[in-house]
Structure 1
Amino acid sequence: MSVIEVKHVTKDYGYGRGIFDVSFEIAEGEVFGFLGPNGAGKTTTIRHLMGFSKAQEGELYINGKDCWKSADIIKRDVGYLPGEMAFPKGMTGNNFIQFMAEERQIIDMSRTDYLKELFELDTSMEIKEMSLGSRRKLALVTAFMHDPKVLILDEPTSGLDPIMQERFIQFILAEKKKGKTILLSSHIFSEVDATCDRIAIIKEGEVVSTIEAAKLKNSTNKAFKIEFATNKDYQQFLSLTQFKIPVERPDQNQVKLNLTDETMQNLFIELSNVNINFISEIKFTLEDYFMDFYDRKKSVAAGEENLEHAIH
């Protein structure tokens, strides 16, 4: 059963800005990654799900409720963490937590106390005096304090230090085990890779790919770095190979190339005619998959940079 449904949603702000015919569904108990850089359309989609904006075309539902018509119910029931945080003026962290508890009719504050301890949050000071990281922790606590079954998280670890980012990932994995349905919007590959069951990539307001995380991790695509014994071997391989070479390092007699399981045998046949120092597999990552859709030139440049770091 789909808990979150986005059906052919368009909101055109002009000049190529907005979202265009965006569709995806999130099943009960699924963690769904929404991956893209800032400005790609992640937040716009989420604002429509939370009923802050009305779509020009298409429909959005959470638990069968229309996100625009039932916005008040959705805002109360869903655990929502906005990308851009705004808090009432003049409140301490304690004041804001109490305000949210009253809005949600929470009497037992034990879960809230647990979350404050987990994320090491001091709620005694005024919110305006808090650091960005502390304000993000406050938003996290209030998003999770009512133990919602559905969570919509927009750039949840923005402003958190690496220790808290890892703590958040472990917390999300624990929530996942409880059967929570989670939409996690992010541009951080490690965060999405560690938590999500499926991943949608959004580019310039359009969903360009949706993939199961397990299939990506078990991909038959492989990348290899090869160093040849001499420049003569290196040049001979380049002149004879049938493979496309995305990264060449002639000063180091090295190449990087991408293969599938089906083409690996052909590579080793070609390598039998030259001398090599080593061949090593480079793990295919979510970032590699993402960059295929976003900027192949940048992907190649990143490959060269990674190769140079590996060399030195």
Structure 2
Amino acid sequence: MKTIEVTGLTKDYGNGKGIFDVSFSVDKGEVVGFLGANGAGKTSTIRHLMGFSKPESGKASIMGKDCFKDASLIQENIGYLPGEIAFMDNMTGHEFIKFMADMKKIKDSSMADRLIKYLELDTSVRIKKMSKGMKQKLGIVIAFMQDAPILILDEPTSGLDPLMQNKFVELIKKSKENGKTILMSSHIFEEVENTCDRIVMIKNGKIVADRDLEIIRNDRNKHYEIIFAEKNDAEIFKKRYPESKIDENRIIMTGKDDINRVIKDISEYKIEDITIRHQTLEEVFMKYYGGEK
């Protein structure tokens, strides 16, 4: 039995908006990155998993239970961070954490205390006076403090500075070590690459890719950027590699060309600079999105 299973999930909001025949699953202890442009259907799918929306057809289940019918039972085992968090602005961070802990029947506050310290969050501040980053930290504390076996996180590092983003990555890694099952939507590709086992991509409400991250790493094209001393040499070189792009004396090419062959061909010319790297996850994502952001 899959920990999270989505089968043929459909909800049509009209004008091409919604989710259509969405199917994917997450195994116990797996970390899956859920990628897609704004409006692609990530949040809508997550809302179905949380039992907030009833599908027109298809099914979402967690631990074998129907996400809509058994929502309250399922939510007891999920740490959830929504994309748009509803706060009680007149409360302090401390008061809100206590309010949520009481609602979730969390008796032990030690996990919340550790998270507050780790994220360097001042909980004495009233929520209405908190910055976006502080509010996001507060949301992370709420999601993780019940030490739930399943985490569903919608854009978890939105508004965090790079230092806190790195701390969050370490928090996910630790959670993974502890056997938690995590579904995380994110726009930060480095974050996904550093934490996830698999990525599921959604475009226009439909799944366009579901791939193991290790396979993507091994299958990525190489990206070459070569600066020739002479513009004429760049033009001659381009004829050997017609798929490459040329800009003055700079050649940019992406592919699975044998690196030894490329270097041998380059050695015939005077080169000012060369950069060779693998495609980034973002570049792979853009390939599936056909240039759309």
Shared fold (TM-score, shorter chain, > 0.5): yes
1:167 equivalent in alignment to 2:163:
no
2:175 aligned with 1:181, yes or no? no
- Aligned position for 1:258: 254
In structure 2, relative to structure 1, the CA distance for the partners of 1:227 and 1:94 (3 Å cut) is closer
The separation in 1 between residues aligned to 2:196 and 2:90, in whole angstroms, is 37
Aligned to 1:248: 246
The one-letter code of the counterpart of 1:200 is V
- Superposed, which structure 2 residues align to 1:75-114 within 5 Å? 75-114=75-114
1:106 and 1:188 map into 2 onto residues whose CA distance is 31
The DSSP-based 3-state class of the residue aligned with 1:113 is helix
Q: Is this contact kept in 2: 1:121–1:137, CA < 8 A?
A: yes
Contact 2:220 2:278 (C-alpha < 8 Å) held by counterparts: no
Match of 1:289 among 259, 284, 287: 284
Two-structure CA RMSD over aligned residues (Å): 1.9
Displacement of 1:130 in angstroms is: 1.7
Q: Any unmatched runs of 5+ in structure 2?
A: none
Residue 133 of structure 1: how far off its partner (Å): 1.4
| Structure 1: unaligned runs, 5 residues or longer | 299-312
**Matched residue of 1:237: which SS?**
helix
Moved more, 220-229 or 15-24: 220-229
For 1:280 and 1:87, the matched residues in 2 are separated by: 47
SS in 2 for 1:175: helix
State the identity %.
49
Q: C-alpha distance in 1, partners of 2:65/2:192? A: 27
- Tell me the distance in 2 between the aligned counterparts of 1:108 and 1:225: 55
Given that 1:79 and 1:150 are in contact with CA atoms closer than 8 Å, whether structure 2 keeps it comes out as yes
Does the CA-based 8 Å contact 1:38-1:187 persist in structure 2? no
Q: Structure 2: how far apart are the matches of 1:232 and 1:94? A: 67
Offset of residue 266 of structure 1 = 5.3
Mapping 1:24-173, distance limit 5 Å: 24-173=24-173
SS of residue matched to 2:134 = helix
CA distance in 1, matches of 2:117, 2:70: 34
Q: Is the 8 A contact 1:92 1:126 kept in 2?
A: yes
Aligned equivalent of 1:5: 5
Deviations 1:254-291 (A, max 9, x none): 20111215x5465456546x414154312211011001
Map of 2:269 onto structure 1: 275
Question: What is the alpha-carbon distance in structure 1 between the residues aligned to residue 292 and residue 41 of structure 2?
Answer: 23
SS of the aligned residue for 1:2 comes to coil
Please give the alpha-carbon distance, in whole angstroms, between the structure 2 residues aligned to 1:23 and 1:297.
23
Distance in 1, Cα, partners of 2:270 & 2:200? 40
Q: TM-score, normalised by structure 2?
A: 0.93
| CA distance 1:106–1:293, change in 2 (3 Å) | same
Distance (whole Å) between structure 2 residues aligned to residue 286 and residue 26 of structure 1: 20
Residue 119 of structure 1 aligns to which amino acid in structure 2? Answer: L
Structure 1 length as normaliser, TM-score? 0.88
- The aligned residue for residue 304 of structure 1 is none
- In 2 relative to 1, CA 58–189 (structure 1 residues): closer, same or farther, beyond 3 Å? same
- Which amino acid counterpart does residue 136 of structure 1 have in structure 2? Q
Distance 1:265 1:47, change over 3 A: same
The number of residue pairs the alignment matches comes to 292
Q: What amino acid does structure 1 have at the position aligned with 2:243?
A: K
d(CA) in 1 for partners of 2:220, 2:123: 49
How far has the Cα of 1:64 moved from its partner? 0.7
Q: Give the partner amino acid of 1:293.
A: Y
Instruction: Find the aligned partners of 1:185 and 1:297 in 2 and give their Cα distance.
Output: 18
Q: Is the 8 A contact 2:89 2:126 kept in 1?
A: no
Q: Which amino acid aligns with 1:257?
A: M
8 Å CA contact retained: 1:226, 1:276: no
Take 1:275 and 1:88, find their aligned partners in 2: how far apart are those partners?
66
Cross-structure match for 1:18: 18
What is the CA–CA distance in structure 2 between the aligned matches of 1:265 and 1:43, rounded to whole Å? 45
